[in-house]
Structure 1
Amino acid sequence: MSPDVIDLSGAAPRLPADVMTRFHDHLAKAASEPRLWSEPAKFGDPLLREQLAARHGRRPDEVCVTAGVRSAALIYGRTAHHVHLERPTFEGLVPALTVAGAALSRWTWDEPPAVDRTRDAGGTVLVWATSPCRNPDGRTLTREQYRTLARLGSRPDTTVVVNRTYAIGPPDDLPDGLDLVGGLHKTWGIGARIGFAIGNGFATRAVTDLAAWAPSAIWQRAWGGFLADPHYDEAAARIRGDALRAVRAFADEAGPADAEASGSPHLLLDRPPGWTGAAFARALAAVGVKVSPGTAFGASAHQVRLSFTGVTERQARAAGGRLAELGILERRPPEHAS
């Protein structure tokens, strides 16, 4: 493998030094508040809940602070009898959602999940989707698809959860009746360990769990202060913008017809004709480009997932050039071609 490996398998975001300095200031301020050392925040720090609510168009009293999406999935999954999980999606959710023995069905966005069939079997039903910019394919639910999910969520004993991990800013016209989950580590790295669940019934499910493993009150207040910082949104947009510019740089250089930038920090590429997905990944590895198998995200074994978080434009352009030099993908025709 080439010594200068370009990691497109999901590297950690690159945090600017000025942003780290600002966060350190908020952490120091939180650590100096005596009350935070002695009083638990039952459902999350009030300031953090307020900031998360504002970014997702909900009320602060609907927000519970978690340690991330999978910790919320554990709670939802423990009380569900049947789980409808989208495909493709991050497959690490499967053990979390089925930890208590829930039956698992998979559905695609092209056809709504068969909720009525599983409701007839008895027990509670959970439906899970990721939008916007779903990992791995970058798709975002349409308004009609959101409305369809909201109608499902309005039925007795059915909860619909939308994972908004990749959202930036408040949602546009998101219908009522949907629970929302997400986390900050896709923007700031896994060290953030801050997530959320927003829904009327989640707090009742989560009381014991939040007391056991929710992030510390000091850490939550630091992040609440950071989110309230006037520079936070600019910094988050800068980090996301770096990833999107890297996607465009890769697509411009590589030129495959299915490597269009879609506003998502990741791409799903089909293997070349006559190749397996594994052989495609090995060919990329041989020229120093590390990618993830599509099967890790419930996609086809003939696909690979590319992530551009933590990747510079220079690195992305170099990776695209290495792929182009392999000469194994059909290149996109020039824009001026007829």
Structure 2
Amino acid sequence: MTGAAIDLTGPQRPWPGRLVSRFAAAQEAAVRGRGAWGPPAPGGDRRLLDRLCGDLGAPEGRTSVTAGVRAFAGGWAGRTRHVLVERPGFAPLPGLLGAAGTRVRQLPWHELVREARASVEPATLWVTSPGRNPDGRTLTAAEAEELSGIARRGHHVVSNRVYRWFSGPGPEVTGGWSVHSLSKVAGGGARLGWVVGPEGAEHPPRVRLTGPATVWQRAWAEFLTPGTLDALVRECAEPTVEARRAFVASVRSALGWYERDEVGGVAVLLGLRGLAEDAAIALFAEHGVRVSPGSAFGAPGPAVRLAFSGVTPRQATDAAELVVRLMNAPATRGRLVPFRP
């Protein structure tokens, strides 16, 4: 492999200049608006809620603005004494939810429902779907229905849906909470999200107070027209989807992996056999490819994550060709495998 290093650690894809200019104008308008420097309204600024509930389809009366997933998790902490969090998944989550004496357990999806049924009091179950990071999993219709049944039994099922921009909507959990964010399509610095509660459920006061500054909410309300949102998805999300598909197609053709591409999102997770994570990361680096350790995402065994948010389809294909070469080399044959949850 020649040329510049290929960064598969997940750097943010930059905005095109016209969207940068559009946001600058929206921010200027927000700064000059009346009441822009007042305290954030509980649940969110009305202008932003109108945008979310109008153009983005969030349900009126069930939506609160947050500063993203971390803010929601911090506001939710202590709501239940028992929390069941998916593995693999967002590494900081157990620490954020494990406040106020909360007992947190990390489990693969197929064990979450069993544990919830054994709980003698309401528990919180946290899953990321569609397109979970780091392995791209999406709930099947049967899994979503099973979690809906858990919600009907009085448990709080939270679906983190921040990767829907890369995977389509996927099955939803009826009666659960859904967490949304612009961070994966616009960048982690967006610090803007929203949570949708079940019909008739009251949003906890601490959750309703997790929205960002009023002026920041209004800037996004000014910016998020249907046209600019479509452009943001087209320029910053769709190229990632194309790059990931290019990698999967190339590996499928050469190695027979991913017989059906039933996953999505921004990344793939490769399991390791007889190869430590640091050794695998160094091996990829020797060939000009940067990858992340699976342990940073709670992978249950040695693994590396390849994220495609900052590369082209050609670069993704080059990375796939490296994987194929490593699988065919005597020293590393059979050391990389598709992750199976």
Pairwise TM-score range, normalised by the shorter structure: 0.7 to 0.9
Q: Report deviation, 1:175.
A: 4.8
Other-structure match for 1:12? 12
Other-structure match for 2:271? 270
> What is the rounded CA distance, in whole Å, between the counterparts of 1:131 and 1:153 in structure 2?
16
Other-structure match for 1:107? 107
CA shift in 2, pair 1:214/1:317, >3 Å: same
Does the aligned pair in 1 maintain the 2:39–2:213 contact within 8 Å? no
Q: Report deviation, 1:191.
A: 1.4
The amino acid that maps onto 1:244 is V
Matched, 1:164 2:190: no
Does the aligned pair in 2 maintain the 1:69–1:195 contact within 8 Å? yes
- How does the TM-score come out when normalised to structure 1? 0.85
> What is the rounded CA distance, in whole Å, between the counterparts of 1:306 and 1:170 in structure 2?
20
Residue aligned with 1:203, SS: coil
Q: Report deviation, 1:292.
A: 1.3
CA shift in 2, pair 1:239/1:89, >3 Å: same
Residue aligned with 1:162, SS: strand
CA shift in 2, pair 1:47/1:174, >3 Å: farther
Other-structure match for 2:90? 90
CA shift in 2, pair 1:39/1:297, >3 Å: closer
Does the aligned pair in 1 maintain the 2:55–2:225 contact within 8 Å? no
Listed one character per residue, the Cα deviations across residues 145-196 of structure 1 (whole Å, up to 9, x for unaligned) are 112112211223x211000001139846635311011211111111111122
The CA RMSD measured in Å over matched residues stands at 2.7
Matched, 1:308 2:286: no
Does the aligned pair in 1 maintain the 2:66–2:211 contact within 8 Å? yes
Q: Report deviation, 1:225.
A: 2.3
Q: Report deviation, 1:70.
A: 1.2
> What is the rounded CA distance, in whole Å, between the counterparts of 1:84 and 1:7 in structure 2?
33
Does the aligned pair in 2 maintain the 1:115–1:125 contact within 8 Å? yes
Listed one character per residue, the Cα deviations across residues 190-242 of structure 1 (whole Å, up to 9, x for unaligned) are 111112221154633326x72xx531111111112222242312331332110
The aligned length equals: 322
Matched, 1:35 2:32: no
User: 4+ runs of 1 displaced by more than 6 Å?
Assistant: none
Q: Report deviation, 1:83.
A: 0.3
Structure 2: runs of 5 or more not aligned: 336-341
Other-structure match for 1:335? none
Counterparts of 1:212-231 in structure 2, within 5 Å, are 214-231=211-228
| Comparing 31-40 and 8-17, the one that deviates more | 31-40
Structure 1: runs of 5 or more not aligned: 332-338
> What is the rounded CA distance, in whole Å, between the counterparts of 2:202 and 2:267 in structure 1?
30
Listed one character per residue, the Cα deviations across residues 256-311 of structure 1 (whole Å, up to 9, x for unaligned) are 4446754321101122x543343222211222211111112221332211111122
> What is the rounded CA distance, in whole Å, between the counterparts of 1:49 and 1:202 in structure 2?
17
> What is the rounded CA distance, in whole Å, between the counterparts of 2:250 and 2:35 in structure 1?
54
Q: Report deviation, 1:9.
A: 1.3
Does the aligned pair in 2 maintain the 1:256–1:329 contact within 8 Å? no
Matched, 1:244 2:241: yes
Matched, 1:183 2:184: no
